[in-house]
Structure 1
Amino acid sequence: MMSSGVPVWPASALESVGLLYRPLQDIEIYVEDKDSEVFYLELLSRLMPKGRKIKKVIPLNGRENVVDLCKRYKDPSPALFLIDGDLDLTLRIREAGIRNLFQLKSYCIENYLFCLYGSREIIVETSGKITRDKAITKAEWSVFFESVADDLRELFLVFATARVLAPSLKTVSLGYSSISTQKTRKKGREPDLVKISEVIESIRTESLKFTDQITWDLTLKKIRKDARDIQTIDMVSGKDFLLPMLDMYIRSKGGNTVSTDSLMFRLARHCSVDRLSELGDALQSILKGGTVVSS
């Protein structure tokens, strides 16, 4: 198959990649996202036990393909199948009871890159003159995120409500540009609380073409209650919102990045992996001949 001149391999062909690389690595890891192998390899290699290796992360171009292969996979060779949380995370919908399927407890893998430590390293590397203690302080990081966290949380609660009541509406795919403003060329697009409020109201108004106000209010209230223990840093899409916002912040602090791919790779190299401990445990369990069951 061809897409814009670039070959797009069917899932069946991509599945066979695991067989080719099996002699070279200790575990096969299958993921959703195409064009993501280098980033995943850098990040997941940091979670591997000493002396164990992965040489190829295999993208299957979509969640359904990953889940389908996971259900069919009967080979004794160690394999882990990794999928995102998406809006299902906020809605408490999980792919449960599937052997060796690991569903992230964040919107997507990019959420784990949203990190003070990784951002600080990029600024230090780019500058060559700024010390780590001056690149970003913990207080500055808190102000940066907390100043917009509540508004972003409400935005994604509204997105999740629309997913239930008006699933045809465009929500997360509106992206960071819909809630940001270009104030200066150097800093890039900054979060705009007024625009966030406008998007929230627009989604509510459009959703009321599919439902009534009482149903909307009750559904939003229930989703908000059910999601009360989910951290905002996990609820908001890392790929579509947090990373563009972080790129803006890093640039404002003197840490230029070339592209989104470059930013992701450098963050994957430097970010804290503490929040990925459950994924690391799953990899170790499978490598030892055990299994994990999605929940």
Structure 2
Amino acid sequence: MNRDLSVGLPVRGLAARYAEAALYHNYNDIDVYIEDTAEGYRKLYAIVLARLFSADGIALDRVFPLGSRGQVLKAARKDDGCGRKSLFIVDGDLYLLGGEYEDIPESVFVLPRYCIENFLIDSSAILRVLYEDAPEMDMDELKIKCDFEGWFSSSRENLKELFVWFAVSHSLAAGIQTVSMRYQAICKNGDGDVDSLKVRLVVDEISRDLSVRFGQEAVSSALESVRQKVDESSCFITNYVSAKDFVLPLLLIRGRAVSGSKAANLNLKVRVARVCSLHGLDPIVERVRRLAAA
């Protein structure tokens, strides 16, 4: 679903946004514009992208949030860049499975996963960060008690079913506010487990609503289309489930319960961003290399 995160923010034209970017021309070799204005998002992006680009000697100190996905696409279409090399990045979101609503400009990079935080779903990195906050526990004990592999195994089918139906709703442009739902709606306990009954209730409600509004044939067709878009060779949770609103909060609930960490989620995510694997982000590196060479 298309999220308008700009509500309540001051209206700023492209000139003002480019003016902000101009302040960092001595620190950024390329101007990167993103869609999300949530707290901490700018820092997460900057950390991950700076790590990515450093091997190529491309400096990046700051990225610039523009607001909603639609605003980023609009800005990319109007971009004059003032001679600067610019890259616009939007989340894969439900568009990965439900399809795009409009053409994507050449200067826009669509993340191959749901959002930037999906690249923080790295059990080893999360354990490494939690280990710093658990002075009385060794790494092997922490790993066994957190049992992230067990969590993924037990959560996979429930989260897949949930986000497949979110994507069906998206593909039908149903307007169901699936993005307003958070992990609390499906969390079972203080260990961050997923409640299969809660997931089933949500899925059944979406299915009934869509069938009434669009007819069973249209819903079945959309469901089949979504399922065909799933890359079965990759981890569904890592690619298609919102890490921001579901996966990371649940994993951190689990990790905090074991380690006793008192750090806020945002603090933990920033620390994970500094050490997580960058696997899966090669396409954006190639895009930036082409931009730098142009």
TM-score (norm 2): 0.86
State the match for 1:31 in structure 2. Answer: 34
State the match for 1:215 in structure 2. Answer: 218
- What is the root-mean-square deviation of aligned Cα atoms in Å? 2.6
Alignment partners' CA distance in 2, 1:78 and 1:136: 43
Deviation of the 1:107 alpha carbon = 1.0
8 A Cα contact 2:98 2:170, kept in partner: no
Cα 1:214–1:68 shift into 2, 3 Å = closer
Alignment partners' CA distance in 2, 1:253 and 1:122: 13
Cα 1:220–1:65 shift into 2, 3 Å = same
State the match for 2:253 in structure 1. Answer: 248
Alignment partners' CA distance in 2, 1:169 and 1:63: 17
Alignment partners' CA distance in 1, 2:260 and 2:76: 40
8 A Cα contact 1:118 1:271, kept in partner: yes
State the match for 1:293 in structure 2. Answer: none
5+ long unaligned stretches in structure 1: 291-295
Q: Secondary structure, in 3 states, of the residue corresponding to 2:43?
A: helix
Deviation of the 1:243 alpha carbon = 1.4
Alignment partners' CA distance in 2, 1:249 and 1:116: 12
User: Are positions 1:277 and 2:279 aligned together?
Assistant: no
- Aligned counterpart for 1:58 among listed residues 57, 64, 67: 64
- Aligned counterpart for 1:258 among listed residues 258, 263, 271: 263
Deviation of the 1:9 alpha carbon = 4.9
State the match for 2:3 in structure 1. Answer: none
Alignment partners' CA distance in 1, 2:142 and 2:107: 40
State the match for 1:174 in structure 2. Answer: 181
State the match for 1:43 in structure 2. Answer: 48
Cα 1:11–1:249 shift into 2, 3 Å = farther
User: Are positions 1:67 and 2:70 aligned together?
Assistant: no
Cα 1:209–1:252 shift into 2, 3 Å = same
Deviation of the 1:228 alpha carbon = 4.3
1:1-295 correspondence runs (5 A): 8-12=10-14, 13-34=16-37, 35=39, 36-50=41-55, 51-75=57-81, 76-93=83-100, 98-136=105-143, 140-165=147-172, 167-181=174-188, 183-184=189-190, 187=191, 189-229=192-232, 231-232=235-236, 233-254=238-259, 256-287=261-292, 289-290=293-294
Instruction: Supply the AA of the counterpart residue of 2:48.
Output: L
Q: Secondary structure, in 3 states, of the residue corresponding to 1:209?
A: helix
Cα 1:95–1:128 shift into 2, 3 Å = farther
Deviation of the 1:103 alpha carbon = 0.5
**Identity of matched residues, %:** 27
Alignment partners' CA distance in 2, 1:156 and 1:270: 28
Greater shift in the superposed pair: 58-67 or 212-221: 212-221
**In proportion to residue count, which structure has more strand?**
1
8 A Cα contact 1:119 1:267, kept in partner: yes
Q: Secondary structure, in 3 states, of the residue corresponding to 1:29?
A: strand
Deviation of the 1:166 alpha carbon = 5.7
Cα 1:10–1:46 shift into 2, 3 Å = same
